[in-house]
Amino acid sequence: MSTGMMLFLGMVFAAIFLLTQGLVVPAFGDSSKARKRLKQRLGQIDSASDEKAIASLLRDKYLRQLSPTERWLESLPGMQGLVQIIDQAGHTLPAYRLILISLALGAAGGTAGWIFTRTPLVTLVCAVAGLVGPVVKMLRDRKARIDKFEAQLPDAIDAMKRALRAGHPFSATLKLVAEDMEDPCGREFQLTFADINYGSDLRRAMLGLLQRMPSVAVMALVTSVLVQKETGGNLAEILEQISAVIRSRFRFHRRVRTLTAESRMSAWILVLMPFVLFMAISVTQPDYLPVLLESTTGRKMIAAAFGLGMLGILWIRRVIRVDV
């Protein structure tokens, strides 16, 4: 396989990756600014309470079964953030194993790229793809699980509201939601109920839920519960209003996604059209492209065009992005 074809395939991969990350994710879900504000707020709450963050009970049980060497690997710098991502993704995989899997796949990808192509650039691309692949998969699982939890949250809040109006205490409403709802909502409320049963107060248990499911919707639920605990009031009515707000927020997100569908499709067409034309010309006129690929000026023109294409993706993402 020629170097020009390798460069072409690498550019196609980069373009498709940026399209999927820049045009699918931003049109739905919390914006980066909202996530940053939420992270800052969590830090303020933790520092104000002088309490350590609540870890997943299931993960704590799993870590106690590890050997001393494995626990040492889990305590290395940078592992804590990875542990949190794994917990939020709903997995019990130790962080060090994810790192080892990434290193193994990176080495395997680089070896396979070198054996089949003997091209340093392709070898590097394959190695990087294998190295970051497991982490990207974990991040996607995390996002999908949080999105699913947010979609289930209005129904869970409605169940809590009905249980409160029926006379159940708040901790019992958590248990009812855990029994009635599917994963991840049922599992997370079960962990929150278990936190309270194991001796944590309501504040720590609800902050543990927010830490495992960091989103604006969960922040609204946790804040309302904690404020009502301090000031009093009708919690059932508060939960009813929160449920209505969350449902309205989802309707707005779906409307935004519908209105930006044309722009996202235009981005796919505009960015992928040069690659489609490249393939069509290489098939119909095989002697036409080597002049462009083999000359220094032609490669510089290709690099400039590719850079402008990536800039176009970022610009379109900026245009269609709606922060809520």
Selected residue with higher pLDDT from 296 and 65: 296
Please tell me the predicted confidence (pLDDT) of residue 123. Answer: 83
Over 90: is that where the pLDDT of 102 sits? yes
Number of DSSP helices (H) and strands (E) in the chain, helices first = 15, 0
Contact between residue 195 and residue 205 where contact means Cβ atoms under 8 Å apart: yes
pLDDT, tens digit (0-9, with 9 covering 90-100), for 154-204 = 999 999 999 999 988 888 999 999 988 998 999 999 989 988 888 778 888
- pLDDT exceeds 80 at position 49: no
- pLDDT on residue 27: 40
User: Taking 90 as the threshold, does the pLDDT of residue 105 lie above it?
Assistant: yes
DSSP structure class, residue 184: T
pLDDT of residue 216: 84
The pLDDT value given to residue 153? 92
pLDDT at 101 over 80: yes
Taking only the tens place, the pLDDT of each residue in 76-86 is: 777 778 888 88
Q: Is 232 left (phi over 0), alpha (psi -120 to 50) or beta?
A: left
Question: pLDDT tens digit string along 230-248?
Answer: 887 888 999 999 999 888 8
**pLDDT recorded at residue 50:** 45
What local confidence, expressed as pLDDT, does residue 35 receive? 58
pLDDT value at 40 more than 70: no
Spell out where 74-161 has E strands: none
For CA atoms 41, 32, 191, 174, the dihedral sign is positive
Spatial contact of 119 and 8, defined as CB atoms under 8 Å apart: no
Confidence of residue 228 (pLDDT cuts 50, 70, 90): confident
- What's the pLDDT at 294? 76
With a pLDDT cut of 70, the percent of the chain lying above it is: 78
- Report the range of poorest mean pLDDT among 46-50, 135-139, 154-158, 284-288: 46-50
Q: pTM for this one?
A: 0.72
Residue-level pLDDT at 37: 63
- Per-domain residue ranges of the chain: 1-27+260-324, 146-250
Is the predicted pLDDT of residue 5 greater than 80, yes or no? no
DSSP string, 293-319: HHSHHHHHHHHHHHHHHHHHHHHHHHH
Q: What is the pLDDT of residue 152?
A: 92
The Cα–Cα gap between 21 and 24 comes to 6
Q: What is the rounded distance in angstroms from the CA atom of residue 254 to the CA atom of residue 62?
A: 39
Domain 146-250 grouped into CATH 1.20.81.30 = yes
Mean pLDDT of 274-278: 79
Q: Is the pLDDT of residue 16 over 90?
A: no
